[in-house]
Structure formats: C-alpha cells, structure tokens
Structure 1
Amino acid sequence: MLMNYLYANFLEEETFVTTNNITKEALSALTRACVFPAASYVYTSKGSSVSFVSSFSDDATYRFYLKGHSAWLESVVRLELTTEDHARQYFFSRYDDAKRTFYTSDLGQQLSEFAPDIKTQFDSDHANATWDHFLNGVYGVCTRDGQPETVFKKQALVLYIEQMTTKGSASSAQVKLQLLERAVAALDEVESDFAPHEVSQTSRQRCIIDVRANILAKKPA
C-alpha cells in the first residue's frame, strides 16, 4: 500500500518540521532559496471515515520528505548555506569525494576497467541535471537517504549495470558475473525500494530484480 510505504520511509511535512525544530514557513523559504529539496511525494486526499463515534471527511494535500533529508537540513543550518551557490558547492564537494572513493575501491576499479567510457558521462551537463533533480526531490524518491554520496553511487552503479547487461554484452564468464553480482548488491544498498506502483518503471526493476532473476540466478554455481 502506498501510504504504508510513505509513512515507513518518509516524514509528512507536519512531522518533518516538528522533528527538525523548524517552521513550515522556514522550510518553504529554504526550498524557494534552492538550498533544500522539495517534497518527494505530494499526496492529495479526498476521503471519508465513518465510525460509531462520528464521521469525518478529508480533503487535504500532504507533503512527504525523505527521512534522510533531515541530515541535509542540519548541514544547511549548521553551515549557513543560505544561497544556492553555497549549497551546490557543498553538495558537489561531498559528491566528488564519493566519486574519488568509489574509483579507488576494488569494485570501482574493476567496473572502470570494464567500461572506462562511463567516467566521461559525469560532465557539467550531468552535474547540472543532478543538482536540478536533487532540488526537485527526485533523489528522495530513488535513493535511501538522499545524500550526495548515495546519489553518486546510485547513478554510477546503474550506468555500469546497464552497460554490463546490454544486449550482446552479457557474458557467462564467471569473473564478469561475479562483478555484476557485486554491483547489483551495492546498488541494492543505496537505491530505494520505491512505492509499489512505481517499481516496474524503475532502475530497481531493470538493474536489480530483472538482473537477479534473468542473469544471476542462472550463473554456474
């Protein structure tokens, strides 16, 4: 159920502002200033409830923020990131650190050797799109915590897995399958589960569920 998923992984706006000791007006101001992401889900409710005690009609809009975005809000306040330029610089300082760490790791080095051209895709256009998606709440939908490090890992692992499973590229070579399995497991750690109605349209379906079912489940023991 959608609402079960939202309340398990997100905080509705009233709860988010109370938990983070901020007002709705202040949160809205940070969003308008382009230093904090918009709500990842907006749910419009038009329903009713009937019980022995009374009946109730509900016609309201609810905004859900990723729980992990509380950490970003804390950084915005603590570091006084009052302009979009400052917030963006901070975001990419962490994003670029995550990129360097990834490519010095064993998994990152092996994936880079397999598809060296993917590194070139992290250019200025990609950075602009990443920042826009962050502000629009997209990474609150598709990552587990919405943090810059997680955003990079999600992006990179999807690109590598798609490259490894492109038609004509998949191979039964044991070494490659082991690398693919590690990449899928790493993506599973950072990518969200997505709402039930979304899963079939997402990279979770393409790069985790389908890969495990159609390729990894058939690899030699």
Structure 2
Amino acid sequence: MELVRYLFDNFYTKNQLLDKANVDEGRLLELQDLEVMPRASYSLEISIQCDSFFGAYEASENSEFYSRGYLSWVNILLSLEKVEDAKQIFKDRYCQQLESLREDGIYSNNPKLNSELELTLDSEWKYFLDGTYGLCTKNGLPEQIASKEISILIASDFLDCGLIDGQGRKKLIKIIDLLDDVSSYFAPHERASSSRQKYINELRLRYDLISLSGKGNP
C-alpha cells in the first residue's frame, strides 16, 4: 500500500526511535506524560488475513510513527537537568527562526507573530506535542514550524488576489519556496486537502510560478 510505504520511508516507528535514541519505552511515555515530548503523528492498525493448507490465520498490529526530527528532540530532553525547560527551548528556537527570516526579508505584520506572539507560541507548543507538526513539516522541529506558520500567513494574503505585479511575484515565489522546503508531502489520502496543495500547488498554478530552485507547477 502507498500509505504504508510513505510512512516507513519518511518516519521512524516507535521502536526505531527508541533504538536510535537508546531509550526505553517507559522513559518515552514518561516524557510524553510530562508534556515535553511529542506524541506519534500517525497510528497505523494493520490487519492480516491468511489462508493456507493449515487453515485460516488472522492477526493485527498497531504501529506508531514519529517524525525523524524527533530523534534530536529526544536527545535534547535527555541532556536537560530539568525537562520543564524544554518549552522555553522550543519558544527560543521558534523566535530565533522568525528573526533569521526577518533578516532575510521575510516577515509578517500579522498580530499572531507580533502582539499575540506569546499566545501563538503556546498554541504552537500544543500542536507540537500532539504530533501535528510531525505530520505536516518535514522534521517537526521549531525552525520548520516557524517557517511554515509565517509562510502560510503571507501566502494567505495572495489567495484572494487578482493580478500581482513583478515585486509581488518575486515575494510569492520566495514564500512558496520556503514553504515547499519545510512542508511534508503528506500521506496519500491527505494530499488533496493539505496545506501543500492549497498554498504551494494551487498558488503556483494560479500565478504560473517557477520557483527559484526551478520547481514549477505540479
């Protein structure tokens, strides 16, 4: 199945994550219960039915899939004297990415990233912990989360636009390229309604855009 292939190609199973982080399942669950470690982005129930000379056989297995970027986050948590510091580390890295993007000319005046930034950070932390950003960004880490948020805020302004001038096209290409760099490709059943479809594929098609890296319409 294409879904199964996508998950195994792009994520770690829980056992793979545990092995690579050299941590046991109990410690992982403890970190999740302490609300410092993201939960799985996908849970897959696989049922098997087999019939042979020996008769019918049925089995089922549940597998959890984690963003591969979470390996580095586990290692950070294991190095902390107080795991409660993890939330501030997340916020600091998120804000540092916003500042880095601003220096590159990418910024938004939307209140979510200005006067309401602290509320946004608390909200982003919750999405991070429930595994949402492990699903919709390539590594699930604060830098890509910040890049995705600001890209979508800016790209949204172009959804209801008509014609755009040369400067507008250059800005939009830069924003879509950034979003393309950090956005996951999504599982097959999610793609048609995904943010990648809405803010990357459809905007490139609408404005006939070629990215700075040479990518064009889907």
Q: Same fold (TM over 0.5)?
A: yes
Cα separation, 1, equivalents of 2:189 and 2:137: 16
One-letter amino acid of the counterpart of residue 100, structure 1 = E
One-letter amino acid of the counterpart of residue 184, structure 2 = S
One-letter amino acid of the counterpart of residue 185, structure 1 = D
Q: SS where residue 198 of structure 1 aligns?
A: helix
Cα separation, 2, equivalents of 1:31 and 1:141: 17
Identity %: 26
Which one of the candidate residues 194, 201, 216 is aligned to 1:209? 201
Compute the displacement of 1:16 (Å): 1.4
**Quick one: structure 1 residues 178 and 150, their matched pair in 2 at CA, closer, same or farther if it must change by over 3 Å?**
same
Cα separation, 2, equivalents of 1:90 and 1:4: 33
One-letter amino acid of the counterpart of residue 86, structure 2 = A
Matches within 5 A, 1:153-192: 153-163=147-157, 165-167=158-160, 169-192=161-184
Q: SS where residue 188 of structure 2 aligns?
A: coil
Q: SS where residue 189 of structure 2 aligns?
A: coil
- 1:120 counterpart = 2:121: no
Hey, what does 2:71 align to over in structure 1? Answer: 70
Compute the displacement of 1:22 (Å): 0.9
Hey, what does 2:26 align to over in structure 1? Answer: 25
Give RMSD over aligned pairs: 2.1
1:162-185 per-position Cα deviation (integer Å, ceiling 9, x unaligned): 11x232x34331121121111111
Whether the aligned pair in 2 keeps the contact of 1:20 and 1:70 (CA below 8 Å) is yes
Hey, what does 1:48 align to over in structure 2? Answer: 49
Q: SS where residue 197 of structure 1 aligns?
A: helix
1:6-30 per-position Cα deviation (integer Å, ceiling 9, x unaligned): 0011111112111211111111111
Hey, what does 2:88 align to over in structure 1? Answer: 89
Whether the aligned pair in 2 keeps the contact of 1:171 and 1:177 (CA below 8 Å) is no
Cα separation, 2, equivalents of 1:103 and 1:51: 63
Cα separation, 1, equivalents of 2:11 and 2:41: 9
Compute the displacement of 1:215 (Å): 1.4
Hey, what does 1:139 align to over in structure 2? Answer: 133
One-letter amino acid of the counterpart of residue 76, structure 1 = L
Cα separation, 1, equivalents of 2:115 and 2:45: 37
Compute the displacement of 1:116 (Å): 2.8
One-letter amino acid of the counterpart of residue 173, structure 1 = D
Whether the aligned pair in 2 keeps the contact of 1:133 and 1:139 (CA below 8 Å) is yes
One-letter amino acid of the counterpart of residue 187, structure 2 = A
TM-score by length of 1: 0.86
Hey, what does 1:197 align to over in structure 2? Answer: 189
Whether the aligned pair in 1 keeps the contact of 2:77 and 2:83 (CA below 8 Å) is yes
1:180-209 per-position Cα deviation (integer Å, ceiling 9, x unaligned): 111111110001111011111111011001
TM-score by length of 2: 0.87
**Quick one: structure 1 residues 94 and 42, their matched pair in 2 at CA, closer, same or farther if it must change by over 3 Å?**
same
